[in-house]
Structure 1
Amino acid sequence: MKTIQKLICTAGILSFLFSCDNSGDLTPIAPLEVTLVEDLAAPNDVIDRTTGQVTEQRPFQFFSLEQNAPVTENEDWDMAFKGTTIRVNSTKNVSAAIVSGIFEEINEVPASASFATDTESSFAIPTGGGNGWYNYNPATFTVTPIPGRVILVKTTEGNYVKLEILSYYKGNPPVEQINPMTTPSAHYTFRYILQSNGSTRF
């Protein structure tokens, strides 16, 4: 797994932005960074397809959005991945909401966003094809992100993140090149923007 950080400019941000305090001083504010995470491996449990029984239970891959790094379960993780399941760290008050929209055009947490935490019976990010972040095609046995689905997260530090999953397969291949028998799955590629000052704006 590797991560890449780069600066982005949204429409209307062609250079540094400026803010005024009460004294009228201008303070430059740098554009927010978009972080790209590639091939975060989070393999699912091994299941005997004839019986449906789990023959090998695998751990979740815990990830800190604040640190942009995999961490252990005992550390301050924000999200945890295993197969197509994504958990949020409810014990640290991490919550999530799924909204529809274009990643680049979501400049603020919508007032209508319904944030939730994980419970014993449900996930803040729903599982199942068409329910949360992905579609499952039973004809091709492939998992693909739902276009226009963006995940909003309130982190362990109380900061907001907008996140878009780009691929579930190693190397982020085009959909038409995915072979479910040979292309390694449960390798997440996603991008996100962290607003580190507690603001709801991105």
Structure 2
Amino acid sequence: MKTLVKPLFLLLSLGFFSACNEDTPEPVVPLEAVLVEDLAAPNDVIDRVTGQVTEERPFQYFSLETNSLVSESEDWDLAFKGTTIRVNASKDVKASIVTGIFEEINIVPSSAVFTTDTESTFAIPTGSGSGWYNYNPATFTVTPIPGRVILVQTAAGNYSKIEILSYYKGNPPVAEINPMTTPSAHYTFRYVLQANGSMNF
């Protein structure tokens, strides 16, 4: 009898632990923010007297999925030049600007309205106070608007949240920015990408 009871007990025990393992949820790995530093995207050179463009510079194309600069022919999500940020309309990339604390936005808000670029409009508006930045005509500086977060649906259909931290090389404190000597159009930003297609961050 003993030799029959022990194997039966072991089988029942293994079955019990297997059932527990099947019911145990997968651990949730928190998403980490990626920091992008000094993405250089200089604007066109403009004659300050005539207002004419004397040198046209290219956009810099960036993939949120691969965290890298790519060519225009690849699956880019955002394109940077000066203070302008484009989204890849040809790949149905969409963006929405929301107000909130970056760390506290853990789901795409139901109130977020996503749009893509058209021939006459940008999904991420340009102009001081309209999109992600303010321009101070007294100090000639561009600074990110506190609490502005850019949400993007990427070319792969995934959601990302982005906070632009600085427009100047080296991410200097605002008080130390000299518009005559501090290189501008050098983006420092952080973002979180949800790669599983859900709206949760």
Output the TM-score relative to the length of structure 1.
0.88
**Counterpart position of 1:84:** 83
1:29 is paired with a residue of what secondary structure?
coil
Greater share of helix residues, 1 or 2? Answer: 2
Matches within 5 A, 1:63-78: 63-78=62-77
**Displacement of 1:105:** 0.4
**Counterpart position of 2:28:** 29
> Aligned partners of 2:50 and 2:68: how far apart in 1?
36
**Counterpart position of 2:17:** none
Deviation string for 1:75-97 (max 9, x for gaps)? 00000000000000010010000
Matches within 5 A, 1:173-192: 173-192=172-191
Greater share of strand residues, 1 or 2? Answer: 1
Deviation string for 1:63-114 (max 9, x for gaps)? 0000000000000000000000000001001000000000000010000001
Number of residue pairs the alignment of both structures matches? 180
**Counterpart position of 1:111:** 110
**Counterpart position of 2:166:** 167
> Aligned partners of 1:150 and 1:27: how far apart in 2?
30
> Aligned partners of 2:171 and 2:185: how far apart in 1?
11
**Displacement of 1:31:** 1.0
**Counterpart position of 2:54:** 55
> Aligned partners of 1:26 and 1:197: how far apart in 2?
17
Deviation string for 1:9-58 (max 9, x for gaps)? xxxxxxxxxxxxxx523212311121000000000000000000000000
Q: Give unmatched runs, 5+ long, in structure 2.
A: 1-21
**Counterpart position of 1:4:** none
1:104 is paired with a residue of what secondary structure?
helix
- The one-letter code of the counterpart of 2:136 is N
**Counterpart position of 1:41:** 40
Q: Give unmatched runs, 5+ long, in structure 1.
A: 1-22
Output the TM-score relative to the length of structure 2.
0.89
| Percentage of pairs with the same residue | 77
> Aligned partners of 1:27 and 1:123: how far apart in 2?
40
RMSD: 0.6
> Aligned partners of 1:111 and 1:191: how far apart in 2?
23
> Aligned partners of 2:46 and 2:131: how far apart in 1?
23
